Amino acid sequence: MSDLAVFEEFANSASDKATNVVLSILVPFYKDDPAPLATALNPLIGARKDIEIVLLDDGRPDPALNAQVERTLRAMTAPARLLTAANNIGRAAGRNLLASQARGRWVLFLDADMTPGDDAFLAAYLERIATDDFDAAFGGYETDVPQDADLALHAALSSASDHCDAATRQAIGPTAFCSSNLLVRTSVLRDVQFDTGFTGWGWEDVDWAVRAARAYRLIHVDNPARHGGLQRAETLLEKFRIGAVNYARLLEKHPHLAGLPGAQAARTLRSVPFQRSLRGLWSRLARAPNAPMRLRTLAIKLWRASWTAEVI
């Protein structure tokens, strides 16, 4: 194991009693608090010993949070472990590490800022697992309407792009997969790992799904998790800027994805004279809380396309 994959492990008392684990729920986190998610999952697991929760603190940027999470797991009745990476290894490597440490025949990736969509959330996945007729499933997610106006842009983008039912996502195919609320047969993840060449933010999950779909059956189901991690406009602008490099890597690896809307928009914008000089305007519009939401979402999409045009 490389130095980047060195980690400490804490296991609660229930973890020692886990047997014949069917499902490992894997949750990477970096500064976000996964304790509310673990607490919400605990009663859904109940007295079962064949479901475990495994958290990864990616580099322990907040020691106090790490200690708090350990206390939460210690008090839980569900089998749970906390892995703490010695260094920040990133989104792709973190998920690979979690998969390598999972004891279940299946794994379910959830983001730290998620919660189960309803009380039947885990039961629905266990029913799907029992059919044994697929290799990976994306359940989708939902986002609450935020009270904070500065989070409304993110909510609007999620609603327009990501709140699709399974039939709509199935028609899109693997590019509609996300690594949040992703159920996968563990053996598949050990065959098709996340590409650690994707650094920073974005697109490693789509790349994984496109590669996995070549050899395995990927499906979409309606079993959404609730996504609470809405971010402010300034954070989204920065993520979309730095994510352009990963998007370029995705298109380079999979040339047949050149028809994706984002790629088409970037190519179109690249031919527009002086489009770089408009980034300031698009940034201001995206951050303007009183601007019409359609204008704000258009502005941030143009911002993203402009940066993508630099690298594809």
Q: Are 222 and 140 in contact (CB under 8 A)?
A: yes
Of how many residues is the chain composed?
Answer: 312
CATH class of the region 3-230: alpha beta
Question: Taking Cα atoms as reference points, which of 237, 232, 235, 231 lies closest to residue 279?
Answer: 237
**What was the pLDDT predicted at 3?**
42
Average the pLDDT over 232-250 and give the result.
Answer: 94
Percent of the chain whose pLDDT exceeds 70: 98
- Would you tell me how many other CB atoms lie within 10 Å of the CB of residue 75? 11
158 — pLDDT class (breaks 50, 70, 90): confident
**What are 265-277's pLDDT values in tens digits?**
999 998 898 899 9
Q: How far apart are CA 184 and CA 192, in angstroms?
A: 11
**Domain boundaries, given as residue ranges, for the chain:** 3-230, 235-309
For 229-262, give one letter per residue: b (16+ CB within 10 A) or e.
ebeebeebbeebbebbbbbbbbbeebeebeebeb
State pLDDT tens for residues 70-105: 999 999 999 999 999 999 999 999 999 999 999 999
Alpha-helical segments (H) within 75-151:
90-101, 121-131
Predicted confidence at residue 201, as pLDDT, reads 86
Higher pLDDT, 161 or 282: 282
pLDDT for res 124: 98
Q: Which of 114, 242, 239 is nearest to 178 (CA)?
A: 114
For residue 273, what pLDDT is reported? Answer: 87
Confidence check: pLDDT of 33 > 90? yes
Task: Looking at mean pLDDT, say which of 4-18, 53-67, 151-165 comes out highest.
Answer: 53-67
Higher pLDDT, 130 or 1: 130
CA distance 1 to 18: 25
Asked if 95 and 177 count as a contact pair (C-beta separation under 8 A), the reply is no
Q: What is the pTM of this model?
A: 0.94
pLDDT above 60 (res 1): no
- Looking at residue 140, its pLDDT comes to 94
Q: How does the average pLDDT of the chain come out, rounded?
A: 94
Does 2 score more than 70 pLDDT? Answer: no
CA distance 263 to 17: 49
At 112-139, the pLDDT tens digits run 999 999 999 999 999 999 999 999 999 9
